[in-house]
Amino acid sequence: MALRHAVLAALLDGEFSGYQLAKGFDIGVANFWHALPQQLYAELSRLEGEGLVAGREVVQEGRPNKRLFTVTDAGLAELESFAAAAAKPSFIRDDLLVKVQAVDGVDAAPVIAQLRERAAVAEAKTEVLGALLRRLRGDLDEDEFLRTGRRIGPYLTCLRGLAFERETREWCLRTADLLARRRAEAARGRAGG
Amino acid sequence: MALRHAVLAALLDGEFSGYQLAKGFDIGVANFWHALPQQLYAELSRLEGEGLVAGREVVQEGRPNKRLFTVTDAGLAELESFAAAAAKPSFIRDDLLVKVQAVDGVDAAPVIAQLRERAAVAEAKTEVLGALLRRLRGDLDEDEFLRTGRRIGPYLTCLRGLAFERETREWCLRTADLLARRRAEAARGRAGG
DNA sequence: TCTGACTAGTCAGATTCTTGAGTATGAGTC
DNA sequence: GACTCATACTCAAGAATCTGACTAGTCAGA
């Protein structure tokens, strides 16, 4: 019952097709919501059926036609009441943290490798988010943009995403190094006596 | 297919009943996995059926009997292969961030209130996690514990959780203040001319 | 000309997660 | 003596999500 609100929030930034949302959910809104293309298409259809978004067919040359969606007044009202309702506590679900939790009982090598890989992914994301932030604020500096900008919601959520990715990177690198050092120590211990 | 691994990882710390896990999932493992009691009971039964955990009935006086579970060798092997498999990318799902994303289109007041509430929750969690970290490392300092401790997985994941909660608190407070200032500005603008 | 990639989407089925209620006992309390 | 709280767990139904395959046209490169 909440993907719908993420979709409505995403559509506040303009007209999008299901396909565009499916691509773009990886940046911006994807910082705090994740959905597969099938879910987005299905949700858009449902939202349209309930009159919360309006779709229009755009005929294209050289590629399939597409349907662009915008939020209706009813959709805005729905968002309004969603925003006013009590928020459920957020939660993270992360395989990699489960592995780290279990790392004392299993071989650490693959966990270390995955931590380093995740750190690289997080670093790439910080760059994408940094670029997005620069684009959103245009030529204003951050403080001025946040004081005077008309559309600051996406900027604020990107800031959260950026902080998250930075923290993720730091922690992954620190944890990977630590586990690697412990492995080296253990190996030395076994070899040396 | 992943709650099972979170449960197995949690059971590495000792024998627990479904009820204890259901309570304790809010600290420790709950930093990165979230589950309702019903799920935990169901998952424990399934795991027992598959021989990945072993349950034993403990008869109690003055309260209902309980079943305590431990990880079997097969469970450990399962964890081992889970740790070695590629991790799915983590994701956050957070109603509150959806609301912030949409904040330009809806009344900000309830969003501000929820941001402040979330900040308070995050602060409370940092204290719980801080206490947990102190308990886990005993009288060693952090560096020494991490170098020499036998069971550091939970400590490492708590560190991640702590950083996350701290960041959450910071961002919520900063965002709430910003939105509140903008509202005050807008009100002054309307009143003044 | 065949292959693969991109655009744009749909469908079915399985798994997972959430909602909501219910069982049973004992301890404390007003 | 009724009420609530805590322990300890179960069941059923529904919503949400994920896996995986499938359609269909265009374009670029081997």
Question: For B136-177, how does the pLDDT look when each residue is reduced to its tens digit (9 = 90+)?
Answer: 999 999 999 999 999 999 999 999 999 999 999 999 999 999
Q: Annotate A87-116 with b (16+ C-beta within 10 A) or e (fewer).
A: beebbbbbbbbbbbbbbbbbebebbbebbb
Backbone dihedral angles phi then psi of residue B88, each to the nearest 5 degrees: -70, 150
Query: pLDDT value at position A193?
Result: 61
pLDDT in single tens digits along all 193 residues of chain A: 689 999 999 999 999 999 999 988 757 788 889 899 999 999 999 999 999 999 999 998 888 999 999 999 999 999 999 999 988 888 788 999 999 999 999 999 999 999 999 999 999 999 999 999 999 999 999 999 999 999 999 999 999 999 999 999 999 999 999 999 999 998 888 887 6
- Strand segments, DSSP code E, in chain B are 16-17, 53-58, 66-71, 91-93
pLDDT average, residue stretch B36-60: 94
Identify which has the larger pLDDT, B60 or A103: A103
Q: What is the pLDDT of residue B193?
A: 63
Nucleic acid strand C within 7 Å of A14 CB: no
| Cβ distance of A32 and B98 shorter than 8 Å | yes
Q: Hey, what amino acid is at A94? A: D
- Tell me the helices (H) and strands (E) count for chain A, helix number first: 8, 4
Give the up-direction half-sphere exposure of residue A174: CA atoms within 13 A in the CB hemisphere. Answer: 14
Q: How many angstroms separate the CA atoms of A192 and A186, rounded?
A: 10
Integer Cα distance of B190 and A128 in angstroms: 38
Nearest CA-CA distance, residue B65 and chain A, Å: 29
Nearest alpha carbon to residue B46 among B87, B82, B84, B8: B8
The confidence score (pLDDT) of residue B61 equals 80
Helix spans in A28-148 (H): 37-49, 73-84, 95-101, 109-137, 142-148
User: Mean of the per-residue pLDDT values for chain B?
Assistant: 93
Q: What domains can be seen in chain B, in order of their start residue?
A: 3-84 (1.10.10.10), 95-192 (no CATH)
pLDDT at A90: 83
DSSP state of A104: T
Query: What value does the mean pLDDT take over residues B115-135?
Result: 94
CB B137 within 7 Å, strand D: no
In percent, the amount of chain B with pLDDT more than 70 equals 98
Average pLDDT score over residue span B81-88: 92
Tokens found for residue B30: 């709950």
**CA closest to C16 C1', residue:** B1
pLDDT of A1 reads: 66
Please tell me whether any atom of strand C lies within 7 Å of the Cβ of B62.
yes
**Is residue B119 scored above 70 in pLDDT?**
yes
Contact B90 A96 (CB under 8 A): yes
Amino acid B117: pLDDT: 94
Q: Is B184 an 8 Å CB contact of chain A? A: no
Question: Which pLDDT tens digit goes with each residue over B99-111?
Answer: 999 999 999 999 9
Are A98 and B151 within 8 A, CB to CB?
A: no
